[in-house]
Amino acid sequence: MNIRLKGRWWYLAIFLVAIALPHIVTSRYVGQIIIMGYLFSIATLSLNLILGYAGQASLAHAGFFGIGAYGVGLLTKGGVSFWIALPLSASLAAAIGFLVGLPTLRTRGSYFAISTLCLGVIISIVAGNWVQLTGGYTGVVGIPTPTPIRVPWTVEIRFDSLLAQYYLVLAFLILTMFAMHRIVHSLTGLSFMAVRNNEMLAEAAGIDTFRVKLTAFVIADFFAGLAGGLYASIMGSISPSTASMELTFNWLVYLLIGGAATLGGPIIGAFVIPIIMESLQFLAQYRMLIFGVLLIVVIIYFPRGAMGAILQLGEKWRREWRKRQEEGPRVAASQRP
């Protein structure tokens, strides 16, 4: 109970900082970077569900992000309200995930990774070549900002300022974290981890592993689509690069370095890695060299990434502190003449 309360205080502290942040940081450039960080946090959190918790490497994640982005982009340009287009596009991403998962998740091991790798490439090729629908490689431009919400008898909430967009994206990030938290801390989440840890035992213990994997995949794709839809509406323009493999691999790095199978890891990764990337700009293409080494070191020594290391350190300190508290009076007693 005590530990849980401590956890809640942490949440509250971070939440307050996030609320206050746009009033502390007034630079438009930094504001935009933070919004992107939130969007990619949602994408990485959802990748975490299928890869970190269920242990299935979905390499089409940016593809589903792209489906959400094109869905919202095209629908809202066609006059559909953002608030209808967003859930519709996220559901489309989930539905496509379901159809793709049906054949590919029946296999064990690397087949799923290979099939989703192909799917990711296919989605970005389709986005680039289905010119009538997607506008080809020029993409979709002039996507309207999210439709204002009319609160009866009071004000109208508009989303054309950076500040309003910041809070909108933050709200969706919190929604995503809330959903992930509930899933992970439940019997459903436990069955995800069972499949990741030992699929054969999970089966023998009565878990329908195929269904578990499919569920994880569909939820992950829904939230990837959601992040993509928000991205389209806030950026105002999208192109096939919105669904590119490069993006998937970026999130993969955020996830592995931030901490797979932790709830904080994806968010740490989505903020820390771009900052490191920016500050290493002077190294040009050689910074990839540093990243390669960093990734290998993290995977070998910190299998649960930065968040895992933080948790380990916290546990160690707590133990030290408790030990010192126990020893304290004893040492004092023995020093007495």
Partner 1 sequence: MLLQARGLSKNFSGLVAVNSVDLDVAEGELLAIVGPNGAGKSVLFALISGIMKATGGSVYFRGEEITGLKPHLIARKGIGRTFQTTALFNQLRVVDNLAIGYRMRTSSGLFSTLLRTGKWREDTRRTMTRVAEVLEIIGLKEKAFHFASTLTQAEQRKLAIGIALMGYPKLLLLDEPTGGLTEEDTREISRLIARLHKDLKITICLIEHKMRMVMELAQRIVVLNFGSIIAEGAPEKIARDPKVIEAYLGVEHIADSQ
Q: Contact positions toward partner 1, by CB under 8 A?
A: 179, 182-183, 186-191, 193-194, 196-198, 200-209, 215, 219
94 versus 117: smaller Cβ distance to partner 1 = 94
Q: How far is the CB of 215 from partner 1 (least distance, A)?
A: 6
CA atoms within 13 A on the CB side of 257: 21
290 versus 313: smaller Cβ distance to partner 1 = 313
Q: How far is the CB of 204 from partner 1 (least distance, A)?
A: 5
Residue 19 burial (CB count, 10 A) = 11
The 8-class DSSP code of residue 236 comes to S
Residue 86 and residue 144: Cα distance in Å, rounded?
Answer: 13
Q: How far is the CB of 314 from partner 1 (least distance, A)?
A: 17
114 versus 203: smaller Cβ distance to partner 1 = 203
Residue 178 and residue 176: Cα distance in Å, rounded?
Answer: 5
163 versus 313: smaller Cβ distance to partner 1 = 313
Q: How far is the CB of 1 from partner 1 (least distance, A)?
A: 14
Residue 206 burial (CB count, 10 A) = 7
Q: How far is the CB of 304 from partner 1 (least distance, A)?
A: 10
1 versus 200: smaller Cβ distance to partner 1 = 200
Q: How far is the CB of 17 from partner 1 (least distance, A)?
A: 26
184 versus 306: smaller Cβ distance to partner 1 = 184
- Residues with Cβ < 8 Å from 6, sequence gap 6 or more? none
The 8-class DSSP code of residue 100 comes to H
The 8-class DSSP code of residue 48 comes to I
Residue 36 and residue 54: Cα distance in Å, rounded?
Answer: 26
What type of residue is 55? G
E strand map for the chain:
149-150, 156-157
